[in-house]
Amino acid sequence: KLTFPGGCLIGDDAGFLNFAKIKGSHTAMKSGMLCGEAVFEAIARGVEKGGDLAIARVLEGEDFFDKEL
Residues 38-56 have pLDDT tens digits of 788 878 888 777 666 665 5
Rounded to an integer, what is the distance from CA 57 to the centroid of its chain?
A: 8
Cα–Cα dist 59/27, whole Å:
13
Q: Comparing 60 with 29, which gets the higher pLDDT?
A: 29
Please return the burial class of 41, using the count of CB atoms within 10 Å of its CB with bins 0-12, 13-18 and 19+. middle
Look up the pTM and report it. 0.67
What pLDDT, on a 0 to 100 scale, did the predictor assign at position 50?
64
pLDDT per position as a tens digit, 56-69: 555 555 676 667 66
Asked if 55 and 34 count as a contact pair (C-beta separation under 8 A), the reply is no
Contact criterion met (CB below 8 Å) for 12 and 27: no
Instruction: Note the pLDDT of residue 66.
Output: 66
Q: What are phi and psi of 6, to 5 degrees?
A: 95, 5
**Tally of structural domains, the chain:** 1
- Domain that residue 62 falls in: 3-68
